[in-house]
Amino acid sequence: MERTRMIADGNTAAASVAYRVNELCSIYPITPSSPMAETADEWSAAGRENIWGAVPTVIEMQSEGGAAGAIHGALQGGALSTTFTASQGLLLMIPNMYKIAGELTSTVFHVAARSLAAQGLSIFGDHQDVMACRQTGFAMLCSSTVQECHDMALIAQTA
């Protein structure tokens, strides 16, 4: 079998795995994770199939909390589902994260971490957002390269 190589960023790597192994992607585009949501939406609109031969449903919600709520509902219905978010959005998903983890349902939140906007906007990377979620019951996997991002996305989904 011939190997195919591609050049991608972390957003594309995570979106590629997430789209292929889920039935539903609940999105609310927020930078710097917008490319993940937009890529999944483009593939769904083009009719691209996942590994089970179905086209995943991509739902754009009105807020980050709505995206997490839609994931919670989909999980209760038995659907494989995921979402993509960034720092500010992740903080708004915390209440739903407690419910999802407490009900022992399995999902993956793909997070592009950056500094939280406190007194001024910042584009630097840190983990304030992720650390605020430690007590929710979610397992957390991190990556530092694009290849690790791709691999950890698949590992998280299968765990």
Confidence of residue 19 (pLDDT cuts 50, 70, 90): very high
Rounded to an integer, what distance in angstroms lies between the CA atom of residue 27 and that of residue 24? 10
pLDDT in tens, 65-110: 999 999 999 999 999 999 999 888 899 999 999 999 999 999 999 9
> In this model, does residue 116 exceed pLDDT 90?
no
How many structural domains is the chain composed of?
1
Flag whether 147 is in a domain: yes
pLDDT in tens, 37-66: 999 999 999 999 999 999 999 999 999 999
Contact 26, 81 (CB under 8 A): yes
Flag whether 1 is in a domain: no
Flag whether 3 is in a domain: no
Flag whether 89 is in a domain: yes
The predicted model gives 127-151 an average pLDDT of 92
Q: Which residues pair with 110 in a beta bridge?
A: 84
Closest CA relative to residue 56, chosen from 89, 17, 90, 87:
17
Q: Which domain holds residue 141?
A: 10-158
The predicted model gives 114-118 an average pLDDT of 70
Give residue for tokens 């593939």.
Answer: 43
Closest CA relative to residue 25, chosen from 56, 68, 61:
56
Going by DSSP bridges, is the β-strand pair 24-27/108-112 parallel, antiparallel, or unpaired? Answer: unpaired
Residue 33, domain CATH: 3.40.50.970
pLDDT at 118: 65
